[in-house]
């Protein structure tokens, strides 16, 4: 197990990568049913779970991955990576309320049903280049994460998998401090810890950045990377937000695509921002435009070549990559047409069959 946050060919978030062969990714986290509610009515029902958004990004980017997820007998979506079906249980369900307006949260989440946890024995014994611990409903146990750090060269963790607790009466999601999560003793063995800016309040970034590479996402403002004494702001892409659900998941998917491709961490995080920004423009899983994906692949290859040859590249210079990716961002043909704008940033495309 490597203690370095980065694959062994990279030594700091800013150092140039060497060419590496195809990498294999392991995604661990349950699929769920998402129910979006506004003004007391169900606006949309969609496939959810960080694992679903992440595998969508990886599959679209031709990055091979294995996925371990549990669902119940009632799971109702067709997915590329088959989950383990637990016949006596129901699928995890989250209700997202967009109008409760508590604090500055964009939505209030309730876990109203929970499928089984993922056990170490559910995870294959083979080795993986990158593991992703991306639970949503408390399905990742400390022993599950321990197995992941044993079998993966690098593990990227979404903090939501570790710090969520659920009200026993109505399932409301609350967060606990990372130190009290029961996972703290394993965290010196992970490579990346991703948190939204709200979740980052539940950890000591100064302490965590000494243990691993910490990435804090901040919606339309992009993200920040903290590692040892380095701190980098990674700029966002413009987006017309329809539904924020899954932005953080797609971000993590894009980050891992970048790492697998051998990009430096700030460039990989820029890919994360790219996929996050597309996701907020859709209800549920975004369908990525083929031409857009091809342009992204071309720009990634160009960036790698440039880095390998050290042409026009300074340590912190991901602006050029941002500039070149921006036109790809807007070649996306299937951006939803805004036909009905609802309050608090949730809007629905009438042609989208996921909208009710
Ligand atoms: N309105 C937006 N405009 C542009 N980019 C966005 C917007 N919202 C999110 N993003 C992109 O997606 C990334 C992740 O978003 P965010 O910080 O909201 O994560 P999150 O709160 O974990 O998301 P969620 O829990 O909804 O999946 C951001 O860092 C940014 O790059
Ligand atoms: O589908 C969503 C998504 O995966 C979010 O990241 C998570 O916060 C929610 O719990 C889940 O319902």
**Segment 148-174, tens digit of pLDDT:** 999 999 999 999 999 999 999 999 999
Q: What is the CATH number of domain 25-29+53-67+119-164+174-335?
A: 3.40.1190.20
Ligand number nearest to the C-alpha of 233: 1
- Ligand 1 mean position, distance from CA 282 (Å): 12
Among the options 158, 249, 267, 349, which is catalytic?
249
Tokens (6 digits) for 251: 């971000």
The answer to whether 34 is a known catalytic residue is no
Q: What is the pLDDT of residues 243-262, one digit of tens each?
A: 999 999 999 999 999 999 99
CA–centroid distance, residue 278 to ligand 1 (Å): 10
Does the structure show a pLDDT above 90 at 330? no
pLDDT (average), residues 66-72? 98
Structure tokens, 91: 């699928």
Confidence of residue 312 (pLDDT cuts 50, 70, 90): low
Angle (nearest 5°) at CA 169 between 178 and 119: 50
For the chain, the domains span 25-29+53-67+119-164+174-335
Give the pLDDT confidence score for residue 22 in this predicted structure.
42
CB of 55 within 6 A of ligand 2: the answer is: no
Residue 194 pLDDT exceeds 90: yes
Backbone dihedral region for residue 29 (phi beyond 0: left; psi -120 to 50: alpha; all else: beta): left
Overall average pLDDT of the 198-218 stretch: 98
**DSSP one-letter code for 336:** P
Kindly report the protein residue whose alpha carbon is nearest to atom 1 of ligand 1. Answer: 220
Phi-psi region of 101 (alpha: psi -120 to 50; beta: other; left: phi over 0): left
Q: What is the pLDDT of residue 35?
A: 97
pLDDT > 70: percent of the chain = 82
| Ligand 2 atom at shortest distance from the alpha carbon of 96 | 12
DSSP-H helix ranges across 133-264:
142-151, 160-163, 197-200, 205-211, 247-260
End-to-end CA distance of the chain: 47
């Amino acid at each position: 197990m490597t203690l370095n946050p980065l694959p062994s060919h990279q030594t700091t978030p800013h150092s140039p990568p060497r060419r590496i062969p195809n990498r294999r990714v392991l995604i661990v986290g349950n699929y769920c049913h998402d129910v979006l509610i506004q003004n007391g009515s169900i606006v949309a029902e969609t496939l959810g779970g960080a694992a679903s958004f992440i595998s969508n990004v990886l599959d679209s980017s031709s990055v091979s991955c294995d996925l371990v997820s549990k669902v119940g007998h009632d799971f109702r979506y067709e997915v590329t990576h088959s989950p383990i079906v637990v016949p006596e249980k129901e699928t995890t369900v989250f209700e997202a309320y967009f109008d409760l307006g508590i604090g500055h949260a964009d939505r209030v989440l309730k876990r109203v049903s929970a499928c089984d946890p993922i056990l170490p024995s559910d995870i294959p014994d083979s080795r993986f280049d990158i593991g992703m611990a991306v639970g949503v409903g408390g399905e990742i146990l400390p022993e599950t994460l321990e197995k992941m750090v044993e079998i993966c060269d690098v593990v990227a963790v979404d903090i939501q998998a570790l710090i969520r607790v659920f009200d026993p009466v109505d399932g409301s999601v609350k967060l606990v401090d990372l130190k009290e999560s029961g996972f703290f003793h394993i965290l010196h063995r992970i490579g990346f810890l991703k948190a939204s800016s709200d979740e980052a309040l539940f950890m000591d970034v100064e302490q965590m950045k000494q243990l691993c590479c910490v990435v804090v996402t901040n919606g339309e403002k992009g993200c920040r990377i903290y590692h040892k004494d380095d701190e980098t702001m990674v700029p966002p892409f413009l987006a017309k937000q329809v539904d924020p659900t899954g932005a953080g998941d797609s971000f993590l998917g894009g980050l891992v695509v970048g790492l697998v491709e051998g990009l430096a961490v700030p460039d990989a995080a820029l890919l994360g921002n790219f996929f996050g920004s597309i996701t907020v423009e859709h209800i549920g899983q975004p369908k990525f435009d083929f031409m857009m994906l091809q342009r992204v692949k071309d720009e990634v290859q160009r960036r790698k070549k440039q880095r390998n040859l050290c042409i026009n590249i300074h340590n912190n210079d991901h602006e050029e990559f941002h500039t070149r990716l921006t036109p790809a961002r807007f070649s996306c043909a299937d951006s939803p047409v805004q036909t009905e704008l609802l309050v608090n940033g949730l809007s629905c495309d009438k042609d989208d069959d996921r909208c009710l």
